[in-house]
Amino acid sequence: MGTSVAALLHYGGINQGVLDAITILESPTRPSELLKILDYPRNTNKKPYWEHFTADENTVVIESRPTLPDLDAILQLPEQLWLTFGRDTIEIHFIMIEMKIFMQPRNLQPVMMDAIKYFCVLFDSPECNITSDESIEYYAFHEGDLFGATPSRVDEEEKGKIIPLADIYVPYPDPHIIMQPQSEQESDVKTGQYVLWKRDEPQPDGCINPLYWKKKKSGYLHIIFDEKTASS
């Protein structure tokens, strides 16, 4: 699986309203508004639960909610989402949605944007950054940076910039791999198989190079939620 999507929500820190929202997500009875948005197959036998990273970077299931904020604690939801609560940032990790899928607007992007909007409203978050789980912004959050802080590892020319995701990830053909038809009579390469191929050898007729999503630079999509956005 490739890089997956993570939304970093700016919020006011742990307070009673946030704790009440977490209680809603912890319930075995799933929130109806969330189910309407994420209308896809899920493990109906799976209930929300908390995990905690150990010193050796493994995870263990814990029976009750930990003291928050805690960057080593994860609330796993049946909707295949992971939530982590920092000092002023909440991570919503779409663990099963690859960035290359999110980058195709006609697929799951509108659904995911509605899901992110749901969590922003739930946690009273006025803004969020959408990025990948391999970005500098993602790792900066897990190292304790506050929302929007510029990581020291970002190149000097990129500091302070908000970069569209389309400028961060670009499709490129992999020169090492081709997809060839199953037989000479089969013209649809989608039913074929992937094989390794040497760069300096001409490719057989009817073969294609699969496209992958290549990360060009650090960056994120910044979204501000106002009352009009939240109600739409």
Give residue 207's pLDDT band: very low, low, confident or very high (50, 70, 90). low
The residue ranges of DSSP E strands in 66-168, in sequence order, are 70-77, 81-85, 89-98, 127-132
- The per-residue pLDDT for 136 is 80
At residue 160, what are phi and psi to the nearest 5 degrees?
A: 80, 0
Residues 6+ apart with CB under 8 A from 58: none
Residue 140 predicted with pLDDT over 60: yes
* Mean pLDDT of the region 124-135: 86
- The per-residue pLDDT for 230 is 43
Residue 93 predicted with pLDDT over 50: yes
Cα 7–Cα 8–Cα 12 angle in degrees, nearest 5: 140
Say if CB 163 and CB 36 are below 8 A apart: no
* Mean pLDDT of the region 48-59: 88
Residue 105 predicted with pLDDT over 50: yes
* Mean pLDDT of the region 165-174: 53
* Mean pLDDT of the region 71-95: 94
* Mean pLDDT of the region 114-133: 90
- The per-residue pLDDT for 228 is 41
- The CA dihedral of 151, 152, 155, 157, to the nearest 10 degrees, is 80
> What spatial distance separates the first Cα and last Cα of the chain, rounded to whole Å?
33
Neighbours of 153 (CB within 10 A): 9
- Each domain of the chain, given as residue ranges in start order, spans 4-166+216-231, 175-209
Give residue 83's pLDDT band: very low, low, confident or very high (50, 70, 90). very high
Q: Measure the CA–CA gap between 134 and 112, rounded to whole angstroms.
A: 19
